[in-house]
Amino acid sequence: MSKATSIEELIERAVSAREQAYAPYSNYKVGCALQMADGTVFTGANVENASYSLCICAERTAIATAVSQGHREIAAIVVVTQSSPPAAPCGACRQSINEFCSNPSKLQVVLVNGDGERRDLGFHLLFPEGFRGSDL
Ligand code: THU
């Protein structure tokens, strides 16, 4: 657990996290870094399984780590893949991110790849009108 001072540092943390990805089946490695509302950073990588449906995405690995340590508000998220253009989180991860984001238009999403390509956008553009606890 540590704090990041800039998005560039958050990107570095996500790149490092990606190195720990366990992706022997897809060979598609993903790294994620979350900056929580108080600045604390949590990271995650995808963890695959021979029983394919048990694969866990990098984003949800990071979210589970953050929440299990008492941090529930995501301020920024970086996702590193090998895709060009840089890939965005899958639908399941978008729903999981939404659960821990009280204002989607304020959540900064940064998508990068190893070739230096970068896309910046607000989470509301990735997940408009998401279903949340207040809808129940
Ligand atoms: N993956 C992620 O880690 N995050 C996503 O948002 C999309 C997909 C992982 C899951 C699997 O290990 C591999 O990428 C290929 O789908």
pLDDT digits (tens, 9 = 90+) for 64-99: 999 999 999 999 999 999 999 999 999 999 999 999
pLDDT value at residue 2: 76
Query: How is 79-129 classified by DSSP, letter by letter?
Result: EEES-SSPPPPPHHHHHHHHHT-S-GGG-EEEEEETTS-EEEEEHHHHSTT
DSSP class of residue 6? S
pLDDT value at residue 51: 98
Q: For the chain, which residues score pLDDT lower than 70?
A: 1, 4
Chain centroid, CA 9 distance in Å? 15
CATH class of 1-72+85-101: alpha beta
pLDDT value at residue 63: 99
Q: Report the residue among 43, 51, 55, 111 best suited for mutation to probe ligand 1: largest number of ligand atoms under 8 A from its CB.
A: 55
Q: Within 6 Å (CB) of ligand 1, which residues are found?
A: 23, 26, 28, 30, 46, 48, 55, 57-59, 89-90, 93
pLDDT value at residue 20: 98
